[in-house]
Structure 1
């Protein structure tokens, strides 16, 4: 429900929210400017009487003193019959001209409060504030779900460039938007009397005794009221001997006898009136100027959020296949798709086409389309991704509720194919949930649940053979994903290792190749933006399926660097190892924000073997803040495949790397990284107690050995590797 609500409300209210937020950001300028130009705050001992005395001497015709939220003291007085306004210095009594309101800002304020209209505009603005509140809450909940839970809310945002920009901007702006929206809703409800009146209390009218008017210093209440509590002080009208002093503070209003100084009547603010003053000050940012800056910047982010939100919605709409196949009541086999980024639909279409070629009547529908029209189906084949920490993807958000109401026939069969990424603790978690739910519903299982890691075409083909055998047909699934957009990369430098021991490994550094497209020719070739730990996809000769390599540099380094071992019979690694400086190859960058050091200053334990040290070297290279980083590196021989040796020694000297613990399996004393970990158990426990994060990169066998060694290290701490994974403190990039 969250995503449809968020999308619908965002699209429906986009223009209104942009207008309200932009005008709100502009209105934040004045409070900040007033605060920066205001005189230094007076001492806590300065009273209202002190400033009132200074005002009567500086402006004999003083009528009113007002303390602005910025701290500025504004005096209204008469010069003859003409009113005048000035700012008074509460320390010296010096007057300076008060800034005149800008006609432009008056229009902006009118736009923000009522859209340049009257009551209809106020109602619409109030509805806009409510829409912003719902969008902020639902967006925050969706972001937390996508990152794997509320505890991971500060973690890296995943997805396309537009999704990452939208998520990062919303996370930065959400606190200010929640404050603005909540207070805006409260003020609107007060305006239309749904909530009590928020206007300050007004003391009952009173008449002063006749006699000479006392000076402010002679009035006890004015002497006892700190200047910081003042809202307004109105002086009695000179020609009316019965007029009174009127003092308004944060607590209420008092009428004071001009001749005796006695308090004639008072009215204290109700709890809501006091709360409303805080609500108003929060909404306008007048409570504190840093808050004003926060609200202004948050409001300024709304046009960006609206633009990226519409772009994300449009991309999803365009990417999703047509729904004509969803009316599948006459099909024997219904392929139900749960997809977040739309790639699962491509696998579903490959399966449908293969089944049709084998004579099986099949159709494709979203999991959310489950309903009575599908009762005639003989089997359900569920292809589903997982969103966040085991949650349903967008096209399957209502599936479990629909399944609970669905009347399944006694012969209905099912099979579940999950798509996910083994780096996540809840790998294919939603597929697991669906598999159990279908079995509990009474459907007959065709074959055990199958999981596919990182959209493996080979894994898909393997499952296809098993599924075909289960339904009695020969099924060959050859899935060819849409060819990604690539750019030319030119090899600038290569450093070769491991040739002497039969394990050739090369560090390859690329720059931009030939520019493509009109913008490329106009602006020149350039590398895309990336961080160490992201992935570069390279297309092997004659293949549309990319091979991915972890990046050992960031775009700030000016090169795209990877570390590649030549694999026996490897098409892509063979092509890369054959490159010479000046040669070009096509590639593309895919963000991998789940594999990089978490923000902060906690220690980082880096564990890698062979070419897996590449991204770890990139993390160390980028460690300009000199946070503690400890590298455990496994290789075969220090004289042949000690990758990045010179760099690592230099980083040790400049403290980007805190410690280096190499292990060599073919040089005495022979050891692997897990042996180094076991030997350093006590030191590792100390680092983990300081919230250290562990990043592991390399082959699966190495990663398995590292996990076992660390399990023994963690046992005395009553911790497990699984515990650290759940906290995001143990992250793997294995192959």
Structure 2
């Protein structure tokens, strides 16, 4: 519901809100510019002294005004001709034209009414209302994505457009709520929808009838500082019954022109003060710095609009369209999805279609939107949960466990948890398992025992579907056909072969960058953007599940490179290692934002073995800032599988890698990468104590050995790999 409330006003009112924000940002500059340009009075100058100086220069002065910026303007008649000027309070003389700034007037009319009068004002008010809805719903979505309000500034992951959208929103949302709320107040005031609330003193009926008392001698004006003045109006020449009218920040009063006596006074009401404060907050008049800050925040609107559209389009591509999706409050079955790359949504669509065909009413949504209090008719909750990294929540399940644990008591709705993963990874379905454990600990009834789907297996899914059908008392056949991502054709340009001597044939394959269409550059599709450590997916001929390889290059390198070892009977590795320059292969890109070195200047400790050197060598190649990198690389024999051995001497000379430590497992004394770490224990411990980031890539057995070795090395310092992982300083890409 919140997501729809955020999406559709944003898409429908994008142009209007953008005009509103950009014109408002431009207008925020004028109060600051006026403040800088306005001549400022000396300390202690009163309204009496100012009026005396201006009247000396312009005897026919009729009115003196002071704007919130401090600019003083005088209006007069000279031999029947009107005049006006910006006044220097030190001399009382005009120093600049009082004519309004035409650019400011044009922008103000655009901002208020689109040059369309009252109809335009209503349209811009609708834009302000849309901005308020977007700001509030967006804030709720940010809190949901980060895992709660307490984690408002938590680190983000995911596609660039989505991260930019949230990063801008986290900073700008306060200003946008303030600007849109004050705009709606001012519109309501313009159309007399709010009470006036003003107090104006009654015009005095008894005056002295005398004239000519100098303003500079009037006690009230002598007691009023310039900083409080808003307006001083002089009596009409020759009219002995007219009076001076004084308006200040405190109120309004009338002064006798013959005696200078204060005839009547009315303080500003509380309502007037509130209205003036709202005007100041919205326009920046009287608070130029605040106005500039709000203007800068308003510039986030077009940026969020562009990134929001990109996120919406990516969502359309990443999720299958689910027809007949029921509202959560009316559905019998609540089907929630935790997915990182989007494939789990496809299984949810298959399950939704089958349950709907069997007569069930089903609602499908993200796990991050878990809200049991709104499931009025729910008879069961089914959770399809993938796992990110080493057991973390995937993107669409962020904050689910916090929401589950925050429930006062478990609802009487049975839950089934189905995990999706790959058994070759050490944290196989770890997040889904933690969800099942948490639900059981909270006392939620169990609809089905926890189960898993390995490598998106349609057979496993069909087996689980039959078990679900038995639990529901219906026949349920789930025939899932995974939707394969769109692929791009890559052409091999070169290869380097290693490992034949140790019966482990391996190749470094370099492909040419494919041509990228304009829409891919704008939306980040295809291979328009990628970094070292991202994943390239290749679907082997005759296979149904793509094989993922870590990239050893980034877009800036000008090529696509992977390191592939041929496995006995390996369908994909066999095809890849058989490629010759000029041959092609179909591939797709999958971001891997959790395996990035980051922009910090802290040292990097890179640890890998075998083909795991691929992304690590890519990080070294891209280290143009000369960040300290300490690389530990395990191989079988330096004469057979020292991958990138030709490049490392040059990289060392250029300062891209500070130290290279190798471990040879097939030599006279077998030495593994974890042994190399132990032999450098003192330096490794010191680097980590000083903030180094550890990145591990390779087989899971190697990764387990590395974690064990680091636990021994760090124990004297009171650190563990688990602590480093929690701090974001220990990341793995293992297989």
TM over 0.5: yes
Q: How does 1:155-170 map to 2 (within 5 A)?
A: 155-158=155-158, 164-170=160-166
CA distance in 2, matches of 1:683, 1:52: 77
Deviation at 1:73, TM superposition (A): 5.6
Structure 1 residues 424, 598: closer, same or farther in 2, change over 3 A? farther
Aligned residues: 692
Q: Which residue of 1 aligns with 2:473?
A: none
Q: Does 1:22 align with 2:19?
A: yes
Cα distance, 1:32–1:508 mapped onto 2, change above 3 Å: farther
Structure 2 counterpart of 1:411: none
Distance 1:391 1:6 in 2: 15
For residues 729 and 256 of structure 1, do their structure 2 counterparts lie closer, same or farther at Cα, with a shift above 3 Å needed? farther
Cα distance change, pair 304–466 in 1 and its aligned pair in 2 (3 A): closer
Find the counterpart in structure 1 of residue 636 from structure 2. 636
CA distance in 2: counterparts of 1:527 and 1:313, whole angstroms: 18
Deviation at 1:489, TM superposition (A): 0.9
Report if aligned partners of 1:632, 1:662 keep a CA contact under 8 Å in 2.
yes
Tell me the distance in 2 between the aligned counterparts of 1:468 and 1:348. Answer: 15
| Residue matched to 1:8 | 5
Determine the structure 1 residue equivalent to 2:306.
304
- Superposed, 1:588-603 pairs within 5 Å as 588-603=588-603
Is contact 1:112–1:125 with CA below 8 Å preserved after alignment?
Answer: no
Q: Is the 8 A contact 1:425 1:726 kept in 2?
A: no
Q: Secondary structure at the match of 1:232?
A: strand
Q: Which stretch of the first structure deviates more once superposed, 75-84 or 495-504? A: 75-84
CA distance in 1, matches of 2:393, 2:218: 66
Query: Are the structure 2 counterparts of residues 273 and 711 from structure 1 closer, same or farther at C-alpha, using a change threshold of 3 Å?
Result: farther
Q: 2:427, 2:201 → 1: CA distance?
A: 64
Distance 2:519 2:273 in 1: 58
Q: In the superposition, relative to structure 1, how do residues 174 and 287 fare at CA in structure 2: closer, same or farther (>3 Å)?
A: farther
CA distance in 2, matches of 1:349, 1:149: 31
Deviations 1:639-669 (A, max 9, x none): 4433334544444444444444333334587
The aligned residue for residue 678 of structure 1 is: 678
- Higher mean Cα deviation, 274-283 or 461-470? 461-470
The structural deviation recorded for 1:572 is 1.8
Q: In 2 relative to 1, CA 575–497 (structure 1 residues): closer, same or farther, beyond 3 Å?
A: same
Contact (CA 8 Å) 1:371, 1:402: kept in 2 or not?
no
Say whether the 8 Å CA contact 1:693–1:729 is kept in structure 2: yes
**In structure 1, what is the equivalent of residue 368 of structure 2?**
none
Secondary structure of 1:117 counterpart: helix
- Match for 2:142 among 140, 143, 149? 140
CA 1:336–1:48 in 2, change beyond 3 Å: closer, same or farther?
A: same
* SS of equivalent residue, structure 1 residue 301: helix
SS in 1 for 2:28: helix
Is the Cα–Cα contact under 8 Å of residues 59 and 77 in structure 1 kept in the other structure? Answer: yes
User: Residues 409-443 of structure 1: CA distance to partner in whole angstroms, max 9, x if unpaired?
Assistant: xxxxx863212589999965355434654697685
Structure-2 separation of matches of 1:176 and 1:335:
34
Among 175, 181, 200, the residue aligned to 2:171: 175
- Paired position in structure 2 for 1:416: 417
Query: In structure 2, do the counterparts of structure 1 residues 503 and 36 end up closer, same or farther at CA, with 3 Å as the change threshold?
Result: farther
* Alpha-carbon spacing, 1:420–1:546, altered in 2? closer, same or farther (3 Å): closer
Deviation at 1:600?
4.1
Structure 1 residues 508 and 190 mapped into 2: Cα distance closer, same or farther (>3 Å)? same
**Whole-Å separation in 2 of the counterparts to 1:559 and 1:655:** 22
Identify which of 97, 107, 117 aligns with 2:119: 117
Per-residue deviation, 1:591:
1.4
In the TM superposition, residue 537 of structure 1 has moved relative to its aligned partner by 0.9
**Counterpart-to-counterpart distance in 2, 1:683 and 1:200:** 74
| 1:247 Cα deviation from its structure 2 partner | 6.3
Conserved? CA contact 1:136–1:178, under 8 Å? no
Q: What is the TM-score with the length of structure 2 in the denominator?
A: 0.74
Q: CA deviation at 1:533?
A: 1.5
Q: Name the counterpart of 1:358.
A: none
1:48-59 paired onto structure 2 within 5 Å? none
The 1-side partners of 2:155 and 2:168 are apart by: 12
**Is the Cα contact below 8 Å between 2:182 and 2:281 reproduced in 1?**
no
Counterpart position of 1:613? 613
Aligned partners of 2:168 and 2:664: how far apart in 1?
A: 45
The equivalent of 1:32 in structure 2 is: 29
Q: 2:299 aligns to what SS in structure 1?
A: helix
Separation in 2, partners of 1:91, 1:694: 66
**Corresponding residue for residue 506 of structure 2:** 505
CA, structure 1 residues 440+132, in 2 after alignment: closer, same or farther (shift >3 Å)?
closer
1:222-278: CA deviations, max 9, x gaps?
6x65xxx567353634737874474645x7778889899999988777888767666
Of 704-713 and 497-506, more deviation after overlay is shown by 497-506
2:369 corresponds to: none
Match of 1:232 in 2: 230
SS in 1 for 2:215: coil
Residues of 2 paired with 1:178 and 1:425: CA distance? Answer: 39
Question: Aligned equivalents of 2:506 and 2:568: distance in 1?
Answer: 12
SS of the residue corresponding to residue 582 of structure 1 reads coil
Partner secondary structure for residue 457 of structure 1: coil
Give the Cα–Cα distance (whole angstroms) in 1 for the partners of residues 510 and 655 of structure 2. 24
Structure 2 alignment gaps of length 5 or more = 366-371, 471-475
| C-alpha distance in structure 2 between counterparts of 1:54 and 1:425, whole Å | 82
Query: Take 1:720 and 1:198, find their aligned partners in 2: how far apart are those partners?
Result: 66
Alpha-carbon spacing, 1:476–1:270, altered in 2? closer, same or farther (3 Å) = closer
User: Cα–Cα, structure 1 residues 466 and 33, in superposed 2: closer, same or farther, change >3 Å?
Assistant: closer
CA distance in 1, matches of 2:652, 2:88: 58
Measure, in 2, the Cα distance between the counterparts of 1:28 and 1:5.
28
- Name the CA shift for 1:45/1:636 in 2 (closer, same or farther; >3 Å): farther
Equivalent residue, structure 1, for 2:102: 101
- Alpha-carbon spacing, 1:53–1:230, altered in 2? closer, same or farther (3 Å): same
Tell me, yes or no, if the aligned pair for 2:347 and 2:480 is still in contact at 8 Å: yes
- After the TM superposition, which of the residue ranges 72-81 and 606-615 deviates more from structure 2? 72-81
2:293 corresponds to: 291
